[in-house]
Structure 1
Amino acid sequence: MSRNLVSHIRQVVRAFVGRDDLTEPLEVKRSEWRFYLDYLPSSAGFKQLKTACELSGRSNIVLSNVALADREGVVKLHVYDRDHLSWSSLAERPLHRYGLPVQSVGTEEVLATTVDAFCEKNAISRIDLLKIDVEGAEYQVLLGARCMLQEKRVRCCVFEFGATTFDMGNDPDAIEDYLTGLGYRLRNIVSRDPVFPGRTGAEAARFSMHVATPEP
């Protein structure tokens, strides 16, 4: 596991447990783990992920080859080459505007579901930690989780913000209004930074992770 990934996981755990002073990894008994649902809907990306989980023996990870969105159906995914598979997005991204010489290699139609529908189908009554990293379509996933959020059955939600948010046509003000309207408190995972830094547009947007938790 790369140092960057370890650092990322530790950062998410800090947000989940509400401790910024965490320096040592938290140990959790396997019997206490809940489902970890990872969605990587492109066929090539899912194949890589499935192989990695099988080789590592992570039987407690449940994988689903489906996109999360604001409604069930079929969505068009813009797919990138093998080195940039994780950049695949529902948004057609103008990466050249950001100085990145990378282009989508095509599109792929994938099945989509919502958090609410998935939880109902799989009898998931609550989510302890919902981590959303979907290259700009975070708002769509949140919209599809309205019931779970409204009923405060999501204990903690961590999601990303950046230029991809605007590439998808999403407005950070709308995201903030949506979550606060459902009774969630929103903060930047970096305590000294504001919510949605550079919220005026794609060029100004600074990549950041945000934490939403139910108001006490």
Structure 2
Amino acid sequence: MPSLRVLGHAFRAWRRNRTWAKHEPETPYLADLLSGSPVCLHVGASDGRHSYVMTQVAPKARIYAFEPSAFAFQVLKTCVAWHRIGKQVTPVHAAVADKPGELLLVTPKKSSGRMGRAYAYVAEAKPEGAARPDLDDTGMDVQPTPVVVLDAFCAEHGVGRVDFIRMDIEGAELRALMGAVGILDRDRPHVLLEIHPAMLAERFGASGEAVLDIFRDRGYRMFALNGDRLEERTTLVEGLPWKDYFFIHPSKSARLPDGVFKARMAA
């Protein structure tokens, strides 16, 4: 039986999903990416809100939702059960990186005293000083979490095609993508990726440019929201601690649903 705290968080997420409240601004664009029976990887699933949206815009979608936090994983499973989407969504309690094993999940404690679960990230060891370079935190919680590699996970579970990847993992994006190059090369999936330049540099010894090179080297085109307008970009938006970017491969443009991405890719 889930704890009262899990049930409280799950209820808030369930209610927001039912009323389409407080979704991220990129969420409506999933309908312009997904149709038919797509196979989706939701990496950093949290309470599963993007997984839920995927099931609504593509009712035959098959989704694997990866979440490293033990608490958030319980929330995710509860939301999946309440929405009755368990036949479509498979929750996986794991972080994603470029090699399997175990890492630490670092969750900052906000100045309000609450845990900043949305800002949690994986690390080899507990950081000294502040939990993150881009937050004013008052401490941190550290817990171990299992780690999987997407290429190996898909091979082991018979996932022979991936159509879409949603990834929001607080700076670990390069490591996760390095473990998914087989999927990128084989399937050219659409990707919605939150990129964290400061976290990449300060906690992972990487960069936003290195993340972009993964897609540039494979011929992807990149899009981002500028206000309420979707624009094509070749560089990251400067001055932001994080931002979501869409990556679409030209070889998949003809199979896109009618919508803004299909129109932009044809231009």
- Name the TM-score class by shorter chain: 0.7 to 0.9
Structure 2 matches for 1:1-216, cutoff 5 A?
1=16, 3-5=21-23, 7-14=25-32, 16=33, 28=57, 30=59, 32-33=60-61, 35-59=62-86, 60-80=88-108, 83-91=115-123, 92=127, 94=130, 98=134, 100-151=135-186, 153-162=187-196, 163-167=198-202, 168-190=204-226, 191-192=230-231, 194=233, 195-198=235-238, 204-216=239-251
The farther-off stretch of 105-114 and 140-149 is 105-114
Matched-pair contact (CA < 8 Å) for 2:107–2:141: yes
Greater CA deviation, 5-14 or 153-162? 5-14
For the aligned residue pairs, the C-alpha RMSD in angstroms reads 2.8
Q: How far apart are the structure 2 equivalents of 1:77 and 1:96?
A: 12
Distance in structure 1 (CA, Å) of the matches to 2:97 and 2:133: 26
Report deviation, 1:207: 2.7
Distance 1:125 1:84 in 2: 36
Output one character per residue of 1:57-79: Cα deviation in whole Å (capped at 9) or x when no partner.
Answer: 22121100011111111112112
8 Å contact 2:107–2:121 — kept in the other structure? yes
Q: Does 137-146 or 157-166 show the bigger shift?
A: 157-166
Kindly tell me: are residues 150 and 210 of structure 1, through their superposed partners in 2, closer, same or farther at Cα, counting changes over 3 Å?
A: same
Contact 2:94–2:147, Cα closer than 8 Å, also in 1:
yes
Residue type at the aligned position of 1:172: G
CA displacement at 1:142 relative to structure 2: 0.8
Matched residues, number: 199
Task: Report if aligned partners of 1:196, 1:205 keep a CA contact under 8 Å in 2.
Answer: no
Q: How has the CA–CA distance of structure 1 residues 53 and 104 changed in structure 2, closer, same or farther, with 3 Å as cutoff? A: farther
Following superposition, the deviation at residue 149 of structure 1 comes to 0.8
**Cα pair 1:187 1:210 within 8 Å, conserved:** yes
Greater Cα offset, 84-93 or 174-183: 84-93
Determine if contact 1:158/1:211 at 8 Å carries over to the other structure. Answer: yes
TM-score (structure 1 length as normaliser): 0.78
Moved over 6 A (4+): none
Structure 1 unaligned residues grouped into runs of 5+: 18-24, 199-203
- Distance, in Å, in 1 between the alignment partners of 2:232 and 2:250 is 20
